[in-house]
Amino acid sequence: MIHSTLLGILVAILSVFVAILIEGASLRSFFHIPAMFLIVGGTLGATFASFSISQISKAVRDTRYALRKQKETDLKLVFFRFWEKARKDGLLSLEDESKKLDNSFLQKGIQLIVDGSDPRTIEEILWEAHEEKEKVDLKSAKIFETAAGFSPTIGIIGTVLGLVTVLENLDGGTKALGQGIATAFIATFYGISFANLILLPISNQLKVVAKRESNERQAIMRGILSLQSGENRRILAERIDPFVN
């Protein structure tokens, strides 16, 4: 199934085209390669100038990840399994069990338990790792948000350039003048559309994914500390519930 963000972007773009046709305008009038090149190239250039290559590369990877349908892990079920294992075979037996899961944060927590770290140390280490991961994830959303800020401004630059060209050729007649002004404003149209129909929705989706994974890590932290302290199954569920429901 198509991701809701991609579906929303497609619907928004299609709506713009339908509106153009209803107004009786020609789609060819809105297809202007120089303006398109200016908006895409200018926005990319300004964004690359604002962030490092590694940050932008990660933003692209995060976008691919965010726009795929994710297989959700039932953390309560995972921790119930850990609880049963720890009750029967002890906490040390959880190390091999955790390696079967594709979750490095959970594996780190289990390893800290196996190493015999005290609860305060475990909480501090996991919380620091959680906060750092959250900052990195939100940076990806910030990159697209910043690009969305550049795009309309670059569109205005394109419009000014177009108007300068029009004013330099005023002797072309009224019809040519009107066409030139219309073409000049295409850059602003592209800039605003690129920002609001593509960049901002992607930024918002990255924030949603970052928030979901933040809640998942907090649930893991509570579950790890509950396992280590030997709390019963009901208390374990109560500690995890606020972050997974």
Inter-CA distances, 19 with 13, 16, 183, 226, Å? 10, 5, 18, 57
CB-hemisphere CA count at 13 Å for 114? 16
**Is 23 part of any domain?**
no
DSSP secondary structure letter of residue 195: I
Let me know if residue 5 belongs to a domain.
no
Range of the domain at 54: 32-244
Is residue 10 one of the residues assigned to a domain? no
* Amino acid 175: pLDDT: 61
**Residue-by-residue pLDDT tens, the chain, 245 positions:** 567 888 888 999 899 888 888 877 777 777 888 888 989 999 999 999 999 999 999 999 999 988 887 677 788 888 888 889 888 888 888 888 777 778 889 999 988 988 888 889 999 999 999 999 999 999 999 999 999 999 999 999 888 887 877 777 766 566 666 666 767 788 899 999 999 999 999 999 999 999 999 999 999 999 999 988 888 889 988 899 888 86
**pTM score, whole prediction:** 0.84
Residue 171 located in a structural domain: yes
Give CA–CA dist 126/108, Å, rounded. 8
Q: How far is CA 31 from CA 24, 34, 53, 167, 187, in A?
A: 15, 9, 31, 22, 10
Examine residue 90 and state whether it is found in any structural domain, yes or no.
yes
Where does the chain have alpha helices with state H?
4-22, 33-50, 53-66, 75-89, 94-98, 104-114, 119-168, 174-194, 200-229, 233-244
In a domain, 25, yes or no: no
In the chain, how many domains are there?
A: 1
Q: Would you say residue 205 lies in a domain? A: yes
pLDDT at 176: 61
Residue 51 lies in a domain: yes
Burial class (CB in 10 A: 0-12, 13-18, 19+), 213: middle
